[in-house]
Amino acid sequence: MSRNFLLEIGIEELPAKFAPGAVSQIENNAQKKLSELRLLHKSVKAYITPRRLTLYVEDLAEKQEDISEEAKGPAQKAAYDAEGNPTKAAQGFARGQGVDIQELFIKELNGVPYVYAIKSLKGEETETLLPQFCLDIIQGLSFPKPMRWGDQDIRFARPIRWLVSLYGDKVVPFSYAGLQAGRTSRGHRTLGGYIRLVNPEEYLEALETAFVIADQEKRKEIIRKQVNNLATSIAGQVDEDDELLTEVSHLVEYPTGLMGEVGVEYMILPEEVITTPMKEHQRYFPVRSTDGKLLPYFITVRNGDKTSLDTVKEGNKRVLKARLEDAAFYYREDLKKPLSSLVPQLDRVVYHEKLGSVGQRVGRLRKLAGVIANTMAMADREKQLVDRTALLAKADLVTNMVYDFPELQGIMGAYYARGNGEEKEVYTAIREHYQPRYTGDTLPSTDIGKVVSMADKMDAIVGSFGIGIHPTGSQDPYALRRQALGIVGMILEDERNISVKYLLQESYIVFIQQGITMEPLDEVMPILEDFFNQRLRFILQEKGLRYDTIDAVLAQGGQHPYSTLKKAQVLATKREEESFTAYLNAYIRCVNLSKKAVSTEWREYSLTDVTEIVLAKNLKSLLPRIQEAIDQLDYEEAYSLAAQLVPLIEQLFDAVMIMAEDEKLRNARLGLLQECAKALNCLGELTLLA
């Protein structure tokens, strides 16, 4: 038999950003705890609104499973005397396990016979276990910023105001935070009242009658439909923004969408100046025409029904108007000063207490961007545009607009640079140099944007590592992983064989030239190289390459991401060919035997057998051609050339004994195999292939 179980934790308004983590925690913790308690169930589901966090377990068994398990006792020689009679040790073991002495049996463990018993555990009634289970679930929840209230010593996301705990139609009695669990829940703060629940099955429906949509997925879908319908009513549409939609769904219990108008006088502002206050500050949905043009409307969602909707709409319009009025003022004031005139003010803005000011950072960006521009063999005009972009890229940080709307850094810089008459390449690159801003964001579309973006991200990474700030586990407050992924992504997209190691070293030098104290380069560089290799590994995995293919190519270093990718792609193709088995076997034999060489030098004139002489002659001819193909990143050709050695190597192994008694001959053969291994590893360290 089974019954449904419900635990509801009633709380003050929960921050929307806490909700996804709370849902995941309560579901995972409940699954784990039920498994530990041996309680069978059909499903576990968590529901969340701003005022409640709920656990619902369907078909929870009425008692634990009975189990039988072997219990190990004393060794046989200690459990029985010479006549085979049980000793006190055996009797005590049997008594402790609750079995008859006759039920003991012998079983060997590591060659030693021990006494064992089958111990049976009867399952307890679920009702007796649930009070502690409820406490464990509540106390097992953690939040980014928990709080205390009243004279309570406990900490939770927000103060707990009521508790509901039902197993079938029975209350599960427990107390927490000065509250006694019962069967009374609460509806919407203003529209609903108290709700007396008979059993868990009526929970969702009962709350809905009290103006609470407890299922967050249903609530989210209702909002999606309401927003889309409102936009369609004026022949408009809203952008797909799952993050905003999810956040709004966690802000309301009973959603009702409404549409308001934006003053037409504000529509002349840059689009981001209008949409950022809407989305980031007010959680409104901007409305666009079918061709993507921003329309003078917004859609928002109230936490309630349609009562006095016009009044609510007017209130939202006034709030947005105040925000846009501020933005319009900032925009007009900022345009009065050329962006270049703001650059000296960056010297007074601290970037990091150990890494100097933003002004110093701009100096580093200009130098490093110049290095990257040279690496990319840019023309002189492009280099000038790169330098101008690097100079102005951070100037908008001291504008009024970005001070009030930090989300617009880079974006406003581009608008101001355009308004100041800067060249298109410059203001486009200023906007792009922050890209990618998040996972899945587009990369800069221009070479100038890529150069400054790489310099910006490289400076952030090297500076952080240089003063001992490394991402650890899930902690990455400066988004260094994302920035490294951006650098590698840009190098791969651009298909240039740029050395990450070289850029890391050049960035480090720029810091030292500014007199900034950094950890020693020989200590920082290996950590940085590994950090970038891990990001490259991630990208290669995303491209569908096997883990051992990636291991093989990265074993030779990932300093050049583009050549590493090309090498991995060729290896992935070649390893599927039938002939690759012979190639791999030849390589492995060459590697394993050549480990015994006492010298890396070998003398061709010491060779005596025709097979080794022919192999040496072909090797001497092919090695420079293989290296030339590698230098040109033509790994297909390098592999094809190296593969010509495979039948010659096989003939050598069939014809001679490598470990000859003559020392000179043996060393010559081992040296020959060393050179063969170098030729054959043009696609990576193949011994790492599974």
Given a cut of 70, whether residue 438 has pLDDT beyond it is yes
Per-residue pLDDT at 575: 95
Instruction: Quickly list H helices, 161-249.
Output: 203-209, 216-232, 242-249
CA distance 340 to 60: 68
Give CA–CA dist 360/351, Å, rounded.
Answer: 9
How far is residue 208's CA from residue 187's CA, in Å, rounded to a whole number? 8
User: What does residue 195 show for φ and ψ, rounded to 5 degrees?
Assistant: -125, 125
pLDDT at residue 583, as a whole number: 96
Flag whether pLDDT at 600 surpasses 60. Answer: no
In the chain, pLDDT over 70 holds for what percent of residues? Answer: 99
Q: Are strands 356-357 and 236-237 parallel, antiparallel or unpaired?
A: unpaired
CA 403 to chain centre: 29
**First CA to last CA distance, the chain:** 50
**Can you give the pLDDT at residue 101?**
87
| pLDDT above 70 (res 603) | no
Of residues 67 and 462, the one with the higher pLDDT is 462
What stretch of H or E contains 161? strand 160-167
Average pLDDT of the segment spanning 638-662: 93
Q: Is the pLDDT of residue 180 over 70?
A: yes
pLDDT of amino acid 341: 96
What pLDDT, on a 0 to 100 scale, did the predictor assign at position 473? 80
pLDDT band per the 50, 70, 90 thresholds, residue 132: very high
pLDDT of 122:
83
| pLDDT higher at 476 or 466 | 466
**b/e map 119-157, b = 16+ CB within 10 Å:** eeeebeebeebbeebbeebbeebebeeeeeeeeeeeebb
Question: What pLDDT does 526 receive?
Answer: 95
Is residue 527 classed exposed, middle or buried when 0-12, 13-18 and 19+ CB atoms within 10 A define those classes? exposed
Q: State the pLDDT confidence band at 111, using cuts at 50, 70 and 90.
A: confident
Closest CA to 255 of 312, 199, 319: 312
The structural domains of the chain, with segments of one domain joined by +, span: 2-64+125-209, 67-121, 216-335, 357-394+422-542, 565-688
What is the SS3 assignment for 240-275?
Answer: CCHHHHHHHHCCCCCEEEEEEECCHHHCCCCHHHHH
Q: How many residues would you count in the chain?
A: 690
pLDDT in tens, 23-48: 999 999 999 999 999 999 999 999 99
Give the Cα separation of 352 and 445 in Å (integer). 30
**CB neighbours of residue 468 within 10 Å:** 10
Contact by Cβ (8 Å): 38, 63: no
Distance (Å, whole) CA 396 – CA 633 = 41
pLDDT at 690: 85
> Looking at residues 236-255, what average pLDDT do you find?
96
Least Cα distance to 511 among 528, 534, 488 occurs for 528
CA distances from 425 to 304, 313, 428 (A): 49, 42, 5
pLDDT digits (tens, 9 = 90+) for 319-350: 999 999 999 999 999 999 999 999 999 999 99
Residues pairing with 325 in the sheet: none
**pLDDT band for position 660 (cuts 50, 70, 90):** confident
Q: Spell out the residues 6+ positions from residue 645 whose beta carbon is closer than 8 angstroms to its own.
A: 586, 615, 618, 619, 622, 676, 679, 680
Q: State the Cα–Cα distance between residues 108 and 115, nearest whole angstrom.
A: 9
From 224, 175, 217, 199, select the one nearest 5 (Cα to Cα): 199
Domain 2-64+125-209 is found in CATH 3.40.50 = no
The pLDDT score that the predictor gives to residue 82 is: 83
Give the single-character DSSP code of 601. Answer: -
Q: How confident is the model at residue 605 (pLDDT cuts 50, 70, 90)?
A: low
Share of the chain above pLDDT 90, in %: 83
pLDDT of 393 reads 97
Mean pLDDT (whole number) for 440-454: 95
pLDDT at 121: 78
391/154 Cα distance (integer angstroms): 52
Q: Using an 8 Å Cβ cutoff, are 287 and 236 in contact?
A: yes
Residue-level pLDDT at 475: 82
* CATH superfamily entry for domain 565-688: Isoleucyl-tRNA Synthetase; Domain 1 (1.10.730.10)
Averaged pLDDT of the chain: 93
Q: Which two tokens stand for residue 572?
A: 């992935």
Tokens 């409104």 label which residue?
284
Task: Give residue 442's pLDDT.
Answer: 93
Please compute the mean of the pLDDT values over residues 202-220 and round it to a whole number.
97
Identity of the residue numbered 217: E
Could you tell me if 553 and 545 are in contact, meaning their C-beta atoms sit under 8 angstroms apart? no
Mean pLDDT of 669-690: 92
Three-state DSSP at 595 gives coil
Mean pLDDT of 95-111: 86
Token output for 547: 């883990």
CA dihedral (227, 230, 236, 241) in degrees, to 10, reads -10
Burial environment of residue 415 by CB neighbours within 10 A (0 to 12, 13 to 18, 19 or more): buried
Query: Is residue 103 within 8 Å of residue 117, measured between CB atoms?
Result: yes
Q: What is the DSSP letter of 405?
A: -
* pLDDT confidence band for 102 (50 / 70 / 90): confident
For the stretch 469-524, pLDDT in tens is 999 887 888 899 999 999 999 999 999 899 999 999 999 999 999 999 999 999 99
Total-model pTM: 0.80
Q: Which is more confident, 9 or 470?
A: 9
Give residue-wise pLDDT tens across range 260-303. Answer: 999 999 999 999 999 999 998 899 999 999 999 999 999 999 99
pLDDT in tens, 353-380: 999 999 999 999 999 999 999 999 999 9
- Tokens 């369907």 sit at which residue? 58
pLDDT band at 599 (very low <50, low <70, confident <90, very high): low
Comparing 254-268, 421-435, 659-673, the range with the smallest average pLDDT is 659-673
H-state helical runs in 514-645: 521-542, 547-554, 561-574, 580-594, 610-631, 635-643
Cross-strand bridge partners of residue 180: 175
Task: Write the pLDDT tens digit of every residue in 223-241.
Answer: 999 999 999 999 999 999 9
- HSE (side-chain half, CA atoms, 13 Å) at 447: 18
Give the model's pLDDT for residue 84: 85
State residue 516 phi and psi, 5-degree precision.
-85, 130
